[in-house]
Amino acid sequence: MYQLVYISSVTPGQSLSVDDILTVSRRNNARDAITGLLYADRQRFLQALEGPQEQVLKTMARISADPRHRAIVVLSRRTIAMREFGGWAMASQMHGDDAAMIAQVGRLVAHASPNVRATFESFCKLRRPTGAVAA
């Protein structure tokens, strides 16, 4: 099992619809046995992808070619013994309640490695979320 975590910026002028991203991601991820967590705010994406290495790398190549992303930085790549982001329902934004969103992201990353958990928790505390989704 392989895990890759990246951050990217939203390309100026691109609209960000988490629902649209979810529709395509769920289809592709089910096909490719990919799980993970996507956190998006109005300016950035933070995502952990995990699954078979070849599929994770293909997914990352698709993301890299997506015009909504720019300034992509891979934060970590590693082999994992088991999925850290598996079997979740979607976590959605609680409009007007950032504290609840931060708590929900905390629950979603509870089983992730300490470094990945700290990355997501720090990011969501610094950013005003538009959504976090388990992919």
Strand partners, 79: 2
Predicted pLDDT at 92: 39
Predicted pLDDT at 24: 81
Mean pLDDT for the chain overall: 81
pLDDT > 60? residue 90: no
Distance (Å, rounded) from C-alpha 101 to C-alpha 52?
A: 29
Q: What stretches of the chain show up as alpha helix (H) in DSSP?
A: 18-32, 53-65, 98-108, 114-126
pLDDT > 50? residue 91: no
Strand partners, 73: 7
Q: List strands edge to edge, sheet with 44-51.
A: 69-79, 2-10, 44-51, 35-41, 129-134
pLDDT digits (tens, 9 = 90+) for 26-75: 888 889 988 888 887 777 888 899 999 999 999 999 999 998 888 999 99
pLDDT > 70? residue 101: yes
